[in-house]
Homo-oligomer: A and B are copies of this chain.
């Protein structure tokens, strides 16, 4: 039991706050003999990095990762891999004004209630910065999974703007600053997000993460279900408020006939004619694509005023002046991809452990 560790056989532990000297994580249980360099990890971190477009926070962190242990002569050794990312953009400033203010949507108030203390300089552990560690761990998880398994993510909705699923083109996700798989929607989103940003407002987002090439048989029936571990992992992402697998919430409105994924004989076992199940049956992968969607709430930091209180009970108006993401969900894509990767890597090893 731990509050800062995720996974079982492939597991990682993260530490650090946005305003300390560094953040980092320790990956434990990684198989030996996997080729691994810092640049393998860095390429994924660069996808999540702030400052890459006007639609994400202007905080400038190079997020350069260092491998401190567990890799020898370019290969994993099977011992814990310690990764460290220095915090370089810590502007010194005066926090006296904000240290007692509870910002709506932030964890200020709940941290105080729990611990009686909090590092008021940033979001503490709830800072989006923590997610860099997940991305780093996910890069290693991908090595564990091998190249037959492909994990990809997209933003399918920001605020009131949804993509048209018929336009889905994976190649588009790297062609716009939104991870948007719909070229037309991406164009529209530019203007939309600009107006949100100028308004000092923010918007939520809906992410869709898919993993193809996962063999049938990973997961377990009840409390080690592949989908419940995905749910836990995705919901552990900052600002996540919902998770669904396959047809998800839509299944509540379906009939059994509509929801059934019929099968026909395939070359390697059954072929599913549809994928409402999102590739998981009874908690175990069925060989079809794993599909997961995550709802990310709007950034709580806004330039618009909201009513709040201080820790001493004084009523105030709160307004965030600093740099922030108008739609934090955008940078959530590499994070959610990473969580998919670590859940799958863990279940690969767990399955191998039990079944061989």
Instruction: Report if A253 contacts B (CB, 8 A).
Output: yes
On whether the beta carbons of A31 and B298 are closer than 8 Å, the reply is no
Known: A107-B282, A113-B217, A236-B228. A355 touches B79 (CB 8 A): no
Binary interface profile of A, 275-319, with partner B (CB < 8 Å = 1, else 0)?
A: 011101111111100000001111111101011110001110000
Q: Which of A46-54, A123-131, A166-174 contacts B (4 or more CB under 8 A)?
A: A123-131
Q: With a CB–CB cut-off of 8 A, which chain B residues contact A181?
A: none
- Count, chain A residues at interface, CB 8 A: 157
Instruction: Report if A98 contacts B (CB, 8 A).
Output: no
- Give the contacting residue for A24; candidates B11, B68, B130, B287; CB below 8 A: B68
Residue of A117, A159, A221, A314 with most partner-chain B CB within 10 A: A221
Q: Which of A37-45, A55-63, A182-190, A263-271 contacts B (4 or more CB under 8 A)?
A: A263-271
A255 to B313, CA, bound (A): 27
Instruction: Report if A231 contacts B (CB, 8 A).
Output: yes
Given contacts A3-B224, A115-B355, 7 further A-B contacts (CB under 8 A): A13-B80, A29-B354, A105-B256, A110-B281, A114-B219, A236-B283, A259-B298
* A–B pairs, 12, beta carbons within 8 Å: A2-B5, A3-B28, A3-B224, A23-B69, A77-B117, A105-B261, A110-B280, A206-B249, A242-B248, A244-B249, A265-B315, A352-B356
